[in-house]
Amino acid sequence: MTSEIKNICNRIENLMTLYHENNHDLLYEKTLIELQSVNFNGIFINLNNLTLHRVRLNNVKDEIFENIEELHYAPQKCVCSFGRVNRPGQSMFYCSEFSSICDLELLHDYLLKNDIGHERLATYSEWEIKTDLDILILAIAPSNREFVNGLAIRNDCIDFVKTKPESTHETYCNFYSLTSHFFEKNAKNNYSVYVVCSAIANYFTLQFPNIDGLIYPTVQGNIGYNIVLRPHVLDNKMIIPKKEVFVQKWIITNKNSMTIDNNFHKIGRIKKDKIIWTY
């Protein structure tokens, strides 16, 4: 990490402390301002032969989704808070390379917001990429946090930078030193992490406006990557759901874990834009 990036990280950290409790919109704006003083270069990946996994917690206890659109990104009016790469009112399609990552990403908020004994249905879907996706690698996982049988991005990125003129190496270093510093932070007890990461993600989306989405390491899942797609990817059917979805019932057993009700399992078959459930 260069001294310039280190100073920027320190200033943003100070802002996070200052605006930890409130004024999150101001923290977002001030983070954007900090990023404008440095030259950055990102690395892109072409995603095609990869199954994308998504889990959605159903909004009501016994509610079953009936339409494919209900598995899509949330409507703008329903996005009320900052996420890892979204600001309030910004719809994004969050998914992962494995469904186990999706579970862990959702689990913390679910445990935090509900009491022991609470039940909620979770709908699992797999998505097929129909048109190659141009994805910005937003942050790179440490070598011990990539699945052996999953996306192996780290070494490819190192090799890629080596092929570029030496004069550009610092711009790549700037990018990934900054993003790794913040995207490896856990937001469990610090909402300002989401605010800053959202600002960083949106800043670089503006710099590279033609991208289809972003990829970054999971924090809650510990190992593997999350992929976040922009709404046009689904609107233009660049990805489509596979033929089946299924539902499991989550039950909170204590404030640190949940169990899955093995007696409850439903499978849905995709027919056009509808989900036909079998019992």
Structure tokens at 139: 């942050």
**pLDDT for the residue numbered 52:** 96
| Amino acid at residue number 53 | H
| Residue 242 near residue 259 (C-beta atoms within 8 A) | no
Q: Which of 54, 68, 52, 56 is nearest to 123 (CA)?
A: 56
Count the neighbouring beta carbons within 10 Å of the beta carbon of residue 28. Answer: 21
**pLDDT for the residue numbered 253:** 84
Q: Which of 229, 15, 259 is nearest to 122 (CA)?
A: 259
| Residue 264 near residue 249 (C-beta atoms within 8 A) | yes
Q: What residues pair up with 246 in beta bridges, in sequence order? A: 124, 267
How far, in Å, CA of 62 to CA of 79, rounded?
Answer: 22
**pLDDT for the residue numbered 173:** 94
Torsion of CA 125, 128, 132, 134, to 10 degrees: 10
Q: What is the mean pLDDT of each run of 10 residues along the chain (279 residues)?
A: 92 92 92 93 93 88 86 88 94 94 83 77 94 96 85 92 94 95 88 95 95 93 90 94 92 82 90 88
**pLDDT for the residue numbered 54:** 96
**pLDDT for the residue numbered 134:** 97
**pLDDT for the residue numbered 112:** 66
Structure tokens at 68: 């494919």
- Tokens 């079998």 sit on residue: 278
**pLDDT for the residue numbered 139:** 95
| Amino acid at residue number 44 | F
* 247: phi then psi, degrees, rounded to nearest 5: -120, 140
